[in-house]
Amino acid sequence: MDTKRIEGYENMSAEEKVAALEALEFDSTGFIRKDVFDKTASELAEWKRKYNSTLSEAEQARLAAEEARKATEERLAELERKDKISTAKDKYIASGFDVAMAQSTAEAFVDGNMDRVFENINAYAAKVVTEARDKALKDTPVPPASGNPNPGKINYSAEREKALAEGDFTRAAQLARLETEQK
């Protein structure tokens, strides 16, 4: 029922809405009363029964075969759909989707609902990115503590000792000069 035809309906109290709806005339054009529909359906079933009784055995067999063929075609279409869904689901699972998302994506794919397919793929991609970032952060080692009393500055003493141990006297002299300038 379209309440937009009632002026000010949104602002009415509950009692006013009931009164307005009762006063509204309903246009039943295009609708069939239930008792008329039921009577027509009964008559149709009776005519079908009478028609089938007048058919020859060959015609009755042909109609039965036609109905059986239609039922078989419907069943075949249903099984083909299930097979396509199962195949697509297996491929999505092999790609890393969880079972529920793979099922949803496969059904959407077979039904041609590409918006849903892309929504699921984007959700899966976001999940993979998040998991990769979390794994990378988890696997990143904590940097070792330095013996540098001034973090962010070079420990010239340690570097000079290292250069001397390696026999790089030029570098050791340069580091000694930088250490003196820093103080």
Last residue of a domain, one of 112, 132, 150: 112
Most confident of 26-30, 72-76, 130-134: 72-76
Residue 182 has pLDDT above 80, yes or no: no
What is the value of pTM for the model shown? Answer: 0.45
The mean pLDDT of the chain is 85
How sure is the predictor about 42, in pLDDT bands with cuts at 50, 70 and 90?
A: very high
Residue 68 has pLDDT above 90, yes or no: yes
Domain count, the chain: 2
Residue 153 lies in a domain: no
Nearest to 158 by CA among 178, 143, 134: 178
93, 70: one domain = yes
Average pLDDT of the residues in 144-168: 76
40, 105: one domain = yes
6, 66: one domain = no
Residue 125 lies in a domain: no
pLDDT at 149: 54
42, 26: one domain = no
13, 64: one domain = no
Last residue of a domain, one of 89, 112, 135: 112
Average pLDDT of the residues in 16-44: 80
Residue 101 lies in a domain: yes
Give the percent of the chain with pLDDT over 70: 87
24, 82: one domain = no
88, 44: one domain = yes
37, 99: one domain = yes
Most confident of 14-23, 123-132, 171-180: 123-132
22-31, 89-98, 123-132, range with the lowest pLDDT: 22-31
75, 108: one domain = yes
Look at residue 112 and give its three-state secondary structure. coil
11, 44: one domain = no
140-155 per-position pLDDT tens digit: 766 655 555 555 677 8
Residue 156 has pLDDT above 90, yes or no: no
Which residue segment(s) compose the domain that 47 sits in? 32-112
Average pLDDT of the residues in 69-97: 95
pLDDT at 144: 56
Q: Is the Cβ–Cβ distance between 147 and 155 less than 8 Å?
A: yes
Average pLDDT of the residues in 22-45: 81
